Amino acid sequence: DMVATLKASVGKMNDLLARLSQHNKGRAEEPRPIALKALAEAVAAPRRGGHAIAVEGRADVIARADPVRLEQALAHLVQNAVDASPTDVPVILRIEPRGGDAAIDVIDRGAGMSPDFVRTRLFKPFSSTKQGGFGVGAYEARTLIATMGGRLEVASREGEGSRFSIVLPLADGPT
């Protein structure tokens, strides 16, 4: 039993390393103006075959961000939302200005998380509510967003779903 458990653990760690290396797309870029709705559409498009994803909001909301890191962070959050959601309920990506910032909300109607889980375990690697989950998506997303001067906010209610909000500085100018 112990050998089987160790083999299973090694397999999970190898899978995790493979996933992380897929998302490591190289060096950070200098933050620049990014049209959030266009980026959200680009992240949603390849995932729509398996789950409905709606992109809502204003096309003129432009954030200052590293495009590669923002895409990685958003992809983690969208995948988590898809995994948490019933197949017949779309995940919503909502883009809007929020005060002096720009925000992308990733909204699901899944099982949600307890306040205790959000407070004590959500952003810790290897802590997940998903069966077989690695618990690195939200952790890596928050880290990537913080490196761009942004923040990741979360609101969740058990039985109702979750909303993760990427909040970044607004930018003016061409994308």
CA dist 138 and 124 (Å) reads 8
Q: Are 95 and 63 in contact (CB under 8 A)?
A: no
pLDDT digits (tens, 9 = 90+) for 65-117: 999 899 999 999 999 999 889 989 999 999 999 988 999 999 999 989 899 98
Strand stretches in the chain, DSSP E? 32-35, 53-57, 62-65, 91-98, 101-108, 151-157, 161-169
pLDDT digits (tens, 9 = 90+) for 17-37: 555 544 555 556 678 999 999
Strand stretches in 70-110, DSSP E? 91-98, 101-108
Number of Cβ within 10 Å of residue 46's Cβ equals 10
Q: Which two tokens stand for residue 61?
A: 């909301």
pLDDT band at 143 (very low <50, low <70, confident <90, very high): confident
pLDDT band at 43 (very low <50, low <70, confident <90, very high): very high
